[in-house]
Structure 1
């Protein structure tokens, strides 16, 4: 009698994810974002290189003055490589960027990185103070307005809020700056009109840069808070007689910060570039003022370094915001795949 052995079939669970060849969604997300950042930087660097030379003018003549001899001008141009073919200049420019070498300023003779480093702290301080002030005011203001005007209440307050924020969101910064200077510096003589030293010198520039941000962010916070207040879980929390502050800070605030964080990140990314007008009006010794001067004297290398710095800051800030949002909302990783 032969014993017949049967082998139990191997059970395969179709719901178990494959372990081989699986790749985390973070890998693709990071690769796409980093690739996009590098491509954007290359496009911006290429654009500013050719546009800087399309401005015209003679950078060496502007730096040397009208009394410089033609021989001196020719020697300086040759030393700076400005007589080389444009393509050769471009390839040399791109090659230097890989070593973080921004070249030498034509107008001052100092390394571009030194010129930027001496001005950057002023702009960073101005931008951060403006951003922090805008966030501290706009977030509680937007939430308070949403609660104050909930269910059609406070119609006059709502109209006044929309009118004021709409006005300050649409008025250009230079008009606000001029008005503040005329009132508080020229008329009342309470605050300095220019300069970058001392606490009082920050007040007018920070207010100028903050007013538009406060107007836009507070309107965004109000709209998002109004939307969240209509959700079922908020009605449930209120039905359980939770205190208003608990409802707002534990249930409302975390759900409105995503949209606010996105816009705030883009706003922070644009502050370096947005400081150009404010710094020019107030004579602020930052990189915005330096950028305007580099254009006036046709300083190609300084202009290129400043634009690349501003673009890098904006792109890196946006990249960090994307990472934070992906961490807060992991589903966005799958949607972006």
Structure 2
């Protein structure tokens, strides 16, 4: 007599599924490196912002009341000429079709034809862009150098508790310069050096003496702002333990401040500098108008006055591209200098 077994038969072994850890490892291997993911994220965000700018600019300029063709041709133009010009430029079609034609032409560099000059917008912007870039870059270099000299000098004097009165006066002057608009700074420089003293030209572009007043007018406010940032950042670095240790070794001032202190405060100053440079690119509109510089600033002012839609859209697109490109460049530099920075997480 056989006794039935009470032990259940062991089921056949089934193929095991990958564990959560293994699945996580596979996903991690499929991920991009942190730096590549950061670059793609920033580039994608810049492209999205640029798309918003394109849509918003097209919508705004087409909502402005008035007939741009009539404004460009003048009141004496016949209705037939106005109608034929509008048809030639494609302005007699619905706004949606105009937008599609505009967007599809952007990858080819086709920005349309100016209503004022009847020239290609891209060719005009290519001629005007170098003056704007040169003005902005020279102004930024002057602002950055002046801010470093003023900020480091005042912070070292304040940390040593010397020259307190001079430091307070410099701080007050910097605050006053920041509060003065660029337009008033430019007019003041023209009145002093161009009209009263007569030592510098007040208009034009191309010669070295013609660039002095515009560059200084553009750089004054940003220089004061950056100098305050450098002053605060430098004071914070001078109180750190490693600077105290370096100071106890009786290192020369050149090594102490330039080699040990300056690299450790450059991240904060560079962040502010990127924002300042972007603002200076946009701020060239005022300076170019005051000093009659043939750049993008004077171009957009005259285009708005004449309701030149294609030129307005082209200038705004170029300005937006420059600002976004500068912000992207600053983010990449910050991520390279300090990979542990929180900017890599954003």
More divergent stretch after superposition (306-315 vs 158-167) = 158-167
Give the aligned partner of residue 201 of structure 1: 210
How many Å apart are 1:22 and its aligned residue? 4.8
Give the aligned partner of residue 166 of structure 1: 175
Alpha-carbon distance in structure 1 between the residues aligned to 2:277 and 2:109:
24
Give the aligned partner of residue 45 of structure 2: 36
Alpha-carbon distance in structure 2 between the residues aligned to 1:68 and 1:99:
33
Contact 1:107 1:299 in 2 (8 A): yes
Q: Which of residues 167, 177, 184 is equivalent to 2:186?
A: 177
How many Å apart are 1:236 and its aligned residue? 0.4
More divergent stretch after superposition (258-267 vs 55-64) = 55-64
How many Å apart are 1:32 and its aligned residue? 1.2
How many Å apart are 1:157 and its aligned residue? 1.5
Q: Which of residues 232, 239, 256 is equivalent to 1:223?
A: 232
Do the aligned partners of residues 333 and 213 (structure 1) sit closer, same or farther apart at CA in structure 2, a change above 3 Å counting?
closer
Give the aligned partner of residue 15 of structure 2: none
Contact 1:59 1:107 in 2 (8 A): no
More divergent stretch after superposition (291-300 vs 134-143) = 134-143
1:28-107 to 2 correspondences below 5 Å: 28-107=37-116
How many Å apart are 1:54 and its aligned residue? 2.0
Alpha-carbon distance in structure 2 between the residues aligned to 1:186 and 1:316:
38
Alpha-carbon distance in structure 1 between the residues aligned to 2:47 and 2:134:
27
Contact 1:26 1:333 in 2 (8 A): no
User: Is 1:300 equivalent to 2:309 in the alignment?
Assistant: yes
User: Is 1:117 equivalent to 2:126 in the alignment?
Assistant: yes
1:112-151 to 2 correspondences below 5 Å: 112-151=121-160
How many Å apart are 1:20 and its aligned residue? 3.5
User: Is 1:268 equivalent to 2:284 in the alignment?
Assistant: no
2:30 aligned counterpart, secondary structure: coil
User: Is 1:258 equivalent to 2:273 in the alignment?
Assistant: no
Give the aligned partner of residue 300 of structure 2: 291
How many Å apart are 1:333 and its aligned residue? 6.7
Q: Which of residues 243, 247, 253 is equivalent to 1:234?
A: 243
Deviations 1:50-78 (A, max 9, x none): 11122222221122122211000011111
**TM-score calculated relative to the size of structure 2:** 0.89
Alpha-carbon distance in structure 2 between the residues aligned to 1:22 and 1:71:
62
Contact 2:335 2:343 in 1 (8 A): no
Alpha-carbon distance in structure 2 between the residues aligned to 1:216 and 1:313:
22
Q: Which runs of 5+ in 1 are unaligned?
A: 1-13
Contact 2:157 2:164 in 1 (8 A): no
2:232 aligned counterpart, secondary structure: helix
Alpha-carbon distance in structure 2 between the residues aligned to 1:198 and 1:30:
39
Contact 1:174 1:277 in 2 (8 A): yes
Alpha-carbon distance in structure 2 between the residues aligned to 1:336 and 1:108:
48
How many Å apart are 1:255 and its aligned residue? 0.6
How many residues are aligned here? 322
How many Å apart are 1:109 and its aligned residue? 0.7
User: Is 1:278 equivalent to 2:287 in the alignment?
Assistant: yes
Alpha-carbon distance in structure 1 between the residues aligned to 2:96 and 2:238:
59
Deviations 1:288-335 (A, max 9, x none): 011100000000000000000010011011111111111111123785
Give the aligned partner of residue 8 of structure 1: none
User: Is 1:108 equivalent to 2:117 in the alignment?
Assistant: yes
